[in-house]
Amino acid sequence: MKFGIYLVLIFVFSVLLSAQDRSSPENQPHITPRNQPQSADEDQPNIPKGESSSKDAQINLETNRPAAPVDAGSDDVQEMYPFDPHKAAKDVEVGNFYLKRKNYRAALERFNEALLYKPKDAEATVGLAQTQDKLGLFTPAYQNYRAYLELLPSGPAAKEAQEAVTRLGPKVEAQRQSPELQAIIKEGEAALSQNDFETAYARFAKSLQTLPDDPLINFHLAESLQGMQRLDEARLFYQKSLDLDPHGTHAREARRQISEIRWVLGK
């Protein structure tokens, strides 16, 4: 009898052990899914220690780089300079040094820069005129000698400036009537008639170097700039053409275009 009870107990105990083995995770079937997702570590490139791997933290250096300032000698709108007579005086001093050493290009840059920081500075104006004279830039030199005489009619360089105006006058007039200049103006007019504003701008800008006070060239340059959608610059040259010839043939059109540009720009 006792032996039979022992057999029953052993049988029950073995059944319990068998059930526990079947429920253990280690005894479950191991099936690898076909599209097993990669871990986060496997999805990332090799990144040096201490650097973020987040895409949101990656910065495009080109798009975040600040824009370079516009160059004062370029065709774009010039940067506005603060009034700084001390900086201008230093530029004039260095410009005169270069002028005496016959380094005319360096002197040209310094005198031009001085006039950016202090417009209508008499000493910078006559220094610029003298430098342009030495470089054979007769028309701008003539204009700047005259500008100096307007600023300081009895100034220390007034005698030299007056003599230069007398000397350069015939040369300037000859340049004004030169066939080369007239050909450039005609090319600009032809380009403007074809709405080729870039070519027209290049021709009239070159003509303006010789004839800076010609109202018609200033007007055509304004038209070219307007066609290139450089409206604020166009407005300035329309205004200059008006200042030079307020009752000229194109004066009414210049006023109309100035009004339209101001409306567009909200000025």
pLDDT the model gives residue 210 = 85
3-class state of residue 207 by DSSP: helix
CATH superfamily of 85-176: Tetratricopeptide repeat domain (1.25.40.10)
Q: What percent of the chain has pLDDT over 90?
A: 54
**Can you tell me the mean pLDDT for 227-256?**
92
3-class state of residue 42 by DSSP: coil
Amino acid at 234: A
**Can you tell me the mean pLDDT for 195-216?**
92
Q: For residue 118, what pLDDT band results from cuts at 50, 70 and 90? A: very high
Q: For residue 166, what pLDDT band results from cuts at 50, 70 and 90? A: very high
- Please return the burial class of 112, using the count of CB atoms within 10 Å of its CB with bins 0-12, 13-18 and 19+: middle
> By 3-state DSSP, what share of the chain in percent is helix, strand and coil, each rounded to 5?
65, 0, 35
pLDDT > 50? residue 108: yes
The boundaries of every CATH 1.25.40.10 domain in the chain are 85-176, 179-265
Most confident option among 79-83, 212-216, 217-221: 217-221
Q: What is the pLDDT of residues 14-38, one digit of tens each?
A: 655 555 555 444 444 443 444 444 4
Q: What is the pLDDT of residues 40-76, one digit of tens each?
A: 343 433 433 333 333 332 323 233 322 322 333 333 3
DSSP 120-172: T-HHHHHHHHHHHHHTT-HHHHHHHHHHHHHH-TTSTTHHHHHHHHHHHHHHH
Most confident option among 78-87, 209-218, 252-261: 252-261
Q: For residue 87, what pLDDT band results from cuts at 50, 70 and 90? A: very high
Most confident option among 20-24, 166-170, 208-212: 166-170
pLDDT the model gives residue 1 = 56
Point out the least confidently predicted range of 97-106, 122-131, 173-182. Answer: 173-182
pLDDT > 60? residue 216: yes
pLDDT > 50? residue 147: yes
Higher pLDDT, 191 or 65: 191
Q: What percent of the chain has pLDDT over 70?
A: 70
b/e burial code for range 148-163 (CB count within 10 A of at least 16 → b):
bbebeeeeebbebbee
CATH, domain range 179-265: 1.25.40.10
CB-side neighbour CA atoms (13 Å) of 169: 7
**Can you tell me the mean pLDDT for 72-96?**
75
Point out the least confidently predicted range of 52-56, 128-132, 222-226, 247-251. Answer: 52-56
- Per the prediction, the chain carries an average pLDDT of 78
